[in-house]
């Protein structure tokens, strides 16, 4: 649903074209925000649309097949470089598809009302090293994945990614984009949404904490 940079010095890279199908609501491997992404080559004569400054006019590699780069969350084996991608459909505020207000201002979330955040430019914004929170719907949610119910997880554990870019613990059954389980991040903690009006855990005894996101230190050089 959303990638949340937690440090002011995290710098976004917003100049790269994204696969149209991944920037489309309900598309194949739709980007939610918080997945691991990489650049792959794409023939400039292909059918994937791009803004003029990213359509191959600025340069290409190859002499027979003219190739440009394109962002994808579908990770080839051993790919490099990798980033976190922050496009999505929810969790980015009123401009990006969620209803706030409605009758007497009572509604703070709602059905999807607008487009994917990459729809305006066709680009995917990438983020490199730093401390990030990622909502749990955008990571590997299998039993041995990056979820609070996974009792084997501990602070500082290494994190890799599935072949579709979902962050997952090294050694999980979902595998990774690299046969060596290449580490791209370390686990910091699971966290709530940070709301100050949520009843504190100590007031409700042993009730389950409503974790909504995972905090990681992303550094693909680990």
pLDDT tens string 144-181: 999 999 999 999 999 999 999 999 999 898 877 776 67
Look at residue 201 and tell me whether its pLDDT is greater than 80: no
Q: What is the dihedral of CA 57, 59, 61, 65, to 10 degrees?
A: 20
Domain containing residue 210: 3-218
Q: What's the CA gap between 80 and 96, in Å, rounded?
A: 30
What SS3 class is residue 110? coil
Q: How many residues does the chain have?
A: 222
Q: Which of 3, 64, 37, 36 is nearest to 140 (CA)?
A: 36
pLDDT of 111: 62
pLDDT tens string 51-92: 777 766 655 666 667 788 899 999 998 888 999 998 876 665
Beta carbons within 8 Å of 84's beta carbon, 6+ residues apart: 3, 34, 35, 36, 37, 126, 127, 128, 132, 134, 218
**Beta pairing partners, 221:** none
Q: What's the CA gap between 75 and 166, in Å, rounded?
A: 10
Q: What's the CA gap between 123 and 51, in Å, rounded?
A: 8
In the chain, the number of structural domains is 1
**Beta pairing partners, 35:** none
pLDDT of 200: 61
Look at residue 97 and tell me whether its pLDDT is greater than 60: no
CB of 42 closer than 8 Å to CB of 70: yes
pLDDT of 94: 43
pLDDT tens string 33-44: 899 999 998 887
Q: What's the CA gap between 149 and 137, in Å, rounded?
A: 14
pLDDT of 101: 67
């Amino acid at each position: 649903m959303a990638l949340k940079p937690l440090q002011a010095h995290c710098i976004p890279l917003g100049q790269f074209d994204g696969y149209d199908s991944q920037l489309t609501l309900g598309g194949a491997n739709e980007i939610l925000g918080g997945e691991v992404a990489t650049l792959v080559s794409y023939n400039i004569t292909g059918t994937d649309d791009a803004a003029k400054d990213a359509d191959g006019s600025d340069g290409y590699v190859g002499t027979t097949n003219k190739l440009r780069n394109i962002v994808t969350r579908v990770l080839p084996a051993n790919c490099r470089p990798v980033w976190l991608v922050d496009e999505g459909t929810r969790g980015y505020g009123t401009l990006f598809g969620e209803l706030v207000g409605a009758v007497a201002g009572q509604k703070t979330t709602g059905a999807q009302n607008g487009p994917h955040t990459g729809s305006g430019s066709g680009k995917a914004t990438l983020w490199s090293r730093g401390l990030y929170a990622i909502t749990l719907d955008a990571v590997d949610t299998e039993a041995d994945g990056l979820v609070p119910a996974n009792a084997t997880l501990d602070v500082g554990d290494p994190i890799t990614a599935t072949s579709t870019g979902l962050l997952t613990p090294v050694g999980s059954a979902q595998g990774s984009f690299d046969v060596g389980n290449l580490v791209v991040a370390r686990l910091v903690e699971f966290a709530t949404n940070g709301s100050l009006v949520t009843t504190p855990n100590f007031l409700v005894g042993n009730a389950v904490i409503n974790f909504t996101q995972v905090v990681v230190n992303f550094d693909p050089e680990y």
